[in-house]
Amino acid sequence: MAAALLLAAASPFATAATATAADCPSGQFCAWEHADHQGQRANWSGDDGWWEGYIADNDSSWANHGIVGPGIPSYVQVFEDASQGGDMTICLAPGQEVNYNGVANDRGDSHTWAHSC
């Protein structure tokens, strides 16, 4: 059991709950430069193939407040390279907020909305 918990904690798809809801607008995916949804926030309603500025390779917490509905891609896949290239660092289910993930920390450069992780 302990080994399974350790493996889950190391997974880029592992989740961490926050004590309070992240300040992320409805319909948006948000990424913050610090853990616990602190520091500057970037947010998007669509795909972004190249995170520019302060957030590129400086993402430490995330929230998916996207729209959910039939046929709407509502999961967010974050990638380590531009144009959704390289490894997927983290994937967020609809409504999911992650206050920190050591595997994904400071690795995001692009994201896409998808139908699953």
pLDDT reported for residue 20 = 62
**Domain containing residue 97: CATH number:** 2.60.20.10
Contact 58, 33 (CB under 8 A): yes
How many Å apart are CA 63 and CA 94, to the nearest integer?
9
Phi, psi of 12 (to 5 degrees): -65, -10
33: left (phi over 0), alpha (psi -120 to 50) or beta: alpha
Q: How are strands ordered across the β-sheet holding 85-92?
A: 85-92, 75-81, 110-114
Letter for the amino acid at 110? S
Q: What is the mean pLDDT of residues 58-64?
A: 98
pTM for the full model?
Answer: 0.82
Mean pLDDT in residue range 89-116: 98
Q: Please write the tens of the pLDDT for every residue from 1-28.
A: 333 333 333 344 444 443 468 999 999 9
Please tell me what DSSP assigns to residue 5.
Answer: H
Report the pLDDT value the prediction gives residue 21, as an integer from 0 to 100: 84
What is the number of structural domains in the chain? 1
How many CA atoms does the CB half-sphere of 78 hold within 13 Å? 32
Judge whether residue 99 has pLDDT over 80. Answer: yes
Domain coverage including residue 27: 2-114
